[in-house]
Structure 1
Amino acid sequence: MGIKLIKWSVLYFVIGVGVGMYMSISHDFALKPVHAHVNLLGWTAMTLAGILYYLFPAAESSLLGKIHFWLHNIGLPVMMGALAAFVYGYEQAEPLIGIGATTMAAGVLLFAVNVWKNVKPSAKD
């Protein structure tokens, strides 16, 4: 899960930079919240989670780690796609923002439980 999270986070980094470039070139900054959330929740948070999972194999191999990965990677694109649609006037996308955010937040909560349960000093520490 650690390496998968890191690899997926790079995809979100590319998307975040792409959205930033689009806004800069077009002078249309409506997607600022999408840009910020993709970079924070996609690139940064997933990279850090991936590093933690890589450093702590018990957390990485747990069912909580696997569920976190999927909830994060289902919820974030749904939330960001719906948010992008919403800021451009598609008000019917608003419920999808909540569904994506709730899905991702559940993944983050499971990540927190996983860290508290499975991140421990090794025998050599």
Structure 2
Amino acid sequence: MAIKLIKISAIYFLIAIILGLIMSITHNYSFTPVHVHMNLLGWTSLTLAGILYHQFPQLEISLAGKIHFWLHNIGLPIMMISLFLLILLENESFGLGAAIGSIITVIGIMFFVWNIFINLKKSSSVNNHQ
């Protein structure tokens, strides 16, 4: 799961950077919210979670870790696609999808934080066993 998160985050990074490049070329920055959220919640957050799950295997194998993985990876695409369509089509009905995706993602992140506080122990790092 840790490596999958890092690979998924790399896809978000690529999409966000291409979107940023397109915005720069066209001087149209209306998609900045999508660009920023993809970089923060996709690239950065998923990379850091993947590193933590890799470094501390008990986080990865926990139920909270699995719930985080799935909710984050279901909610974020719903949120990003809906936000993109809301901006592109100037249709507020896509706000509902953005809200639903946001809520799913936030719940997933709540499981991540819970997992860190409950299952992360000082001497549980992979490197501490070498």
Q: Report the TM-score, using the length of structure 2 for normalisation.
A: 0.91
Deviation at 1:14, TM superposition (A): 0.4
Q: Which residue of 2 aligns with 1:87?
A: 87
Unaligned stretches of 5+ in structure 2? none
> In the aligned structure 2, how far is the partner of 1:100 from the partner of 1:87?
16
CA distance in 1: counterparts of 2:51 and 2:4, whole angstroms: 10
Q: Which residue of 2 aligns with 1:115?
A: 116
2:44 is aligned to 44
Matches of residues 1-125 of structure 1 in structure 2 within 5 Å? 1-88=1-88, 89-122=90-123, 124=128
CA drift of 1:85 comes to: 1.2
Q: Please state how far the C-alpha of 1:111 moved relative to its aligned partner.
A: 0.2
1:121 positional shift: 1.8
The answer to whether the Cα contact below 8 Å between 1:83 and 1:93 also exists between their aligned partners in 2 is yes
Structure 1: gaps spanning 5 or more residues: none
Query: What displacement does 1:69 show?
Result: 0.8
What is the CA–CA distance in structure 1 between the aligned matches of 2:121 and 2:44, rounded to whole Å?
A: 23
Between the aligned partners of 1:122 and 1:57, the Cα distance in structure 2 is 12
Consecutive aligned runs of 4 or more in structure 1 exceeding 3 Å deviation: none
Could you say what the CA RMSD is over the residues aligned between the two structures, in angstroms? 1.3
- Letter of the structure 1 residue corresponding to residue 86 of structure 2: F
Shift of 1:3: 1.0
Deviation at 1:84, TM superposition (A): 1.0
SS in structure 1 of the partner of residue 83 of structure 2: helix
Give the distance between the partners of 2:72 and 2:31, measured in 1 at CA.
Answer: 20
> Does the 8 Å CA contact 1:56/1:118 hold for their aligned counterparts?
no
Give the superposition deviation at 1:24. Answer: 1.1
The Cα shift of 1:63 comes to: 1.4
- Aligned-partner SS, 1:30: coil
